[in-house]
Amino acid sequence: MKTLKLLFGFALAATILTSCSTNTVYEEPPISLNQLLGSYDLWYVDINQTAGYGETPFLQIAFTLSFRNGVVYANNNLVGFGPNGQGNGYGIDVGEYDAYDMVLDVYHDLDGFQTFDVYQVDFDTIELYNPNNDTSYFLHGYQKSTFDYDFVFYDNIHYFMQEYNAWEKTYTSQMGAINEFDSENYLQFLSGGNDSEFRSSQDQNIANPNAIYWDYTGVYGVGNITGNTHLKTLTLDYDYFDNEFFELSVINDQVIELYHANSGTTYEFTGRGYIQYMRNAEAKGTENGSKVKPVELVKKRKQKTAKKDNPRVSKRN
């Protein structure tokens, strides 16, 4: 009997030890903020999740951020956006950073010093809270190999149109009925204001986009076409005139195609005067290395300002 009890005791002890060993959870040691920021190639700035009424300029205009060896990179433009684009997909160098505890200090080339409290929301989402303006931005982590550059590009065509000082008509198809839009040779899509204003001109062969006389004004809208993510609609809503409706497709980073549905005419427009978005609080930036006007650089993807009336509207022929 003692032998049986002894054997039973050994068996019970072995079972308990085995059970304890099986259920033991080994937690991985926490990683540092530097390791967290570097764990993803790209951090997508989800502007629609922003909480608060303040603005941090360099976050407001960035599609993605990357934190690499103390340097902050940003994709602020859709021209040159892609895995083999600017900065090999990371964008341009916009400043330096220091990460310690759960605090991120950014020394932006134009915006200067910005500090953030960092909170890890889940395994691939972080919150950057700026205590100076009581506003939070939410960033989602991706690796370059799995990041859908095309989706971001086509989902933000509205802003792509604003990345040139003007769009010059460089092709008109022989097919299609004669219409009023045949006479218009330049388009401009303005950032700032209500972020949807456009201008058009009947000028011809203007070498400097800044010298174009803008004949007409209005607001524009870009819409989706069901079943085709790469084809969009473009509506030009002229002040005091009828609308013009087009199917919009992108040929490359500098050329767009507009199919005029009512007349059956196809036009091509080529971008002139590329705007490189690098902005500080006073909206300073560069356009091919030259300074550009503030109205051309106020690229806010989250609008809070009301539409402003345009003081000059000319009659359309």
Return the bridge partners of 259, or none. 247, 266
pLDDT digits (tens, 9 = 90+) for 168-226: 999 999 999 999 999 999 999 998 777 799 999 999 999 999 999 999 999 999 999 99
Neighbours of 251 (CB within 10 A): 11
pLDDT at 200: 97
pLDDT digits (tens, 9 = 90+) for 225-245: 999 999 999 999 998 788 999
In the chain, what percentage of residues exceed pLDDT 90? 72
Q: What mean pLDDT comes out for the span 44-67?
A: 94
| 147 and 212 Cβ atoms separated by less than 8 Å | no
Domain boundaries, the chain: 33-155, 158-296
CATH code reported for the domain at 33-155:
2.40.128.280
Structure tokens at 162: 């604003």
Q: What is the pTM of this model?
A: 0.75
Q: Is pLDDT at 314 greater than 70 in this prediction?
A: no
Query: Could you say which of 3.30.70, 2.30.230, 1.10.8, 2.40.128 is the CATH number of the domain covering 158-296?
Result: 2.40.128
| 297 and 275 Cβ atoms separated by less than 8 Å | yes
Report residue 140: phi and psi, to 5°: -115, 130
Q: What mean pLDDT comes out for the span 76-92?
A: 93
Least confident of 88-102, 245-259, 267-281: 267-281
Q: Is pLDDT at 25 greater than 60 in this prediction?
A: no
| 194 and 303 Cβ atoms separated by less than 8 Å | yes
Higher pLDDT, 300 or 164: 164
Please check whether the two domains, 33-155 and 158-296, share a CATH topology.
Answer: yes
Pairing of strands 255-260, 290-291: unpaired
Return the bridge partners of 255, or none. 252, 270
pLDDT digits (tens, 9 = 90+) for 110-161: 999 999 999 999 989 999 999 999 999 999 999 999 999 999 999 999 999 9
